[in-house]
């Protein structure tokens, strides 16, 4: 008890010292009319400015913002501020309401997307990231996760999503929020499923809009349909190999050299290399093998000798 009091007093003293420091005008940076200051719960003003700049390159998803305990705001962002079928990267930041300063130590958890299928009168979830992590060492105050939507919103069904958050000991969450999942344009199919026995797996292609002509890193996730299906789908624990055969269907199905199969990385994603020698529609035919090298998907139902399991990417 006594030790706790001493420790508490010590923390108050430290906080007092640091906050004296951060009240010093020398430690504030004003940009776009906003003053960014050093903050003991985040970072130096310079580091906070990096976060601020990063957020200029993404767009807020207004319906996914939440106030926590009257003290904090948590904001969610995606590249465009909207969501679409397939893999969507999500970014989260937490700020103090009183100062607008970022908070570094916060946790976003239980990201739970749910689609209600009108005619079938049933609900299902979809693949999500294992967790939400700091973006990288340079952006500790930005957390990143992802959701890969199986299908778009339509008269056939509608989506909700919720997540919980913990900011410096204060807990909160969004509750179920209605969201719209847009269909991808023609010539883009970034999510496919395959079956092995009774299990259904989802192949989510990561950010192919970043690709350019020539050789590109190709990244994907393999998730496993949950039981019950209203539970978010976690990454599959099996170790697959995903062989790729990119073709241009509008140009006599010609292929390209030097493609490398996707293999499982330490972070749970699958990474390979794809060579797209020109702009246009590329159909990336997939053959999935298990850890023993047996073909488990894309091996039968061939059309013109090509797998009928594929992603479409138009660059």
Among 42, 64, 115, 276, binds Cu ion (CB under 5 A): 115
Among 29, 151, 177, 200, binds Cu ion (CB under 5 A): 151
Minimum CB separation of residue 88 from Cu ion in Å reads 16
* Site stretch for Cu ion (CB under 5 A), options 94-102, 108-116, 178-186, 264-272: 108-116
# residues near Cu ion by CB under 5 A: 4
Q: Is 114 in the site for Cu ion (CB under 5 A)?
A: no
Q: Which is nearer to Cu ion, 116 or 194 (CB)?
A: 116
Q: Is 113 in the site for Cu ion (CB under 5 A)?
A: no
Q: Are 120 and 178 in contact (CB under 8 A)?
A: no
Cα–chain center distance at 58: 13
| Residues in CB range of 45: below 8 A, 6 or more apart | 27, 28, 29, 36, 37, 38
Q: Which is nearer to Cu ion, 6 or 117 (CB)?
A: 117
| Residues in CB range of 46: below 8 A, 6 or more apart | 29
Distance CA(95)–CA(104), nearest Å, equals 9
Per-residue binder mask for Cu ion (CB under 5 A), 259-298, x = binder: ----------------------------------------
DSSP helix/strand/coil, 44: coil
Residues between 152 and 211 that touch Cu ion (CB under 5 A): 157
Please report which helix (H) or strand (E) contains residue 281, including its range: strand 281-289
Query: Residue with CB nearest Cu ion?
Result: 115
Minimum CB separation of residue 244 from Cu ion in Å reads 27
Q: Which is nearer to Cu ion, 34 or 117 (CB)?
A: 117
**CB neighbours (10 Å) of residue 34?**
10
Q: Which is nearer to Cu ion, 157 or 246 (CB)?
A: 157
Minimum CB separation of residue 150 from Cu ion in Å reads 6
What are the phi and psi torsion angles at 116 (to 5°)?
-100, 120
| Residues in CB range of 147: below 8 A, 6 or more apart | 83, 87, 88, 90, 111, 113, 126, 127, 128, 129, 161
Distance CA(199)–CA(296), nearest Å, equals 11
- Given the rule CB under 5 A, which residues bind Cu ion? 115, 117, 151, 157
């Amino acid at each position: 008890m006594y030790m706790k009091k001493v420790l508490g007093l010590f923390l108050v003293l430290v906080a007092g010292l640091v906050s004296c420091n951060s009240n010093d005008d020398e430690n504030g940076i004003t940009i776009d009319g906003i003053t960014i200051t050093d903050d003991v719960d985040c970072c130096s003003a310079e580091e906070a400015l990096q976060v601020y700049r990063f957020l200029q390159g993404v767009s807020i998803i207004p319906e996914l913002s939440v106030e926590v305990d009257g003290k904090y705001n948590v904001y969610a962002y995606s590249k465009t501020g909207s969501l679409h079928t397939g893999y969507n990267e999500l970014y989260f930041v937490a700020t103090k309401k009183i100062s607008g300063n970022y908070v570094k130590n916060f946790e976003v958890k239980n990201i739970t997307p749910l689609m209600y299928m009108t005619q079938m009168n049933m609900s299902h979830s979809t693949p999500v990231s294992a967790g939400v992590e700091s973006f990288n060492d340079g952006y500790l105050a930005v957390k990143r996760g992802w959701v890969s939507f199986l299908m778009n919103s339509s008269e056939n069904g509608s989506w909700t999503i919720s997540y919980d958050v913990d900011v410096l000991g204060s807990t909160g969450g969004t509750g179920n929020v209605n969201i719209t999942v847009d269909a991808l344009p023609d010539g883009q199919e970034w999510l496919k499923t395959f079956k092995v026995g009774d299990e259904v797996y989802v192949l989510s292609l990561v950010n192919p809009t970043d690709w350019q002509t020539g050789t590109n890193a190709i990244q994907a996730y393999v998730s496993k349909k949950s039981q019950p299906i209203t539970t978010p789908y976690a990454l599959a624990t099996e170790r697959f190999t995903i062989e790729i055969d990119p073709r241009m269907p509008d140009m006599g199905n010609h292929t390209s050299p030097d493609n490398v199969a996707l293999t499982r990385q330490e972070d749970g994603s699958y990474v390979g290399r794809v060579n797209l020698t020109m702009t246009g529609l590329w159909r990336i035919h997939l053959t999935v093998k298990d850890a023993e090298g047996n073909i488990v998907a894309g091996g039968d139902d061939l059309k013109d000798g090509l797998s009928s399991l594929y992603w479409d990417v138009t660059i």
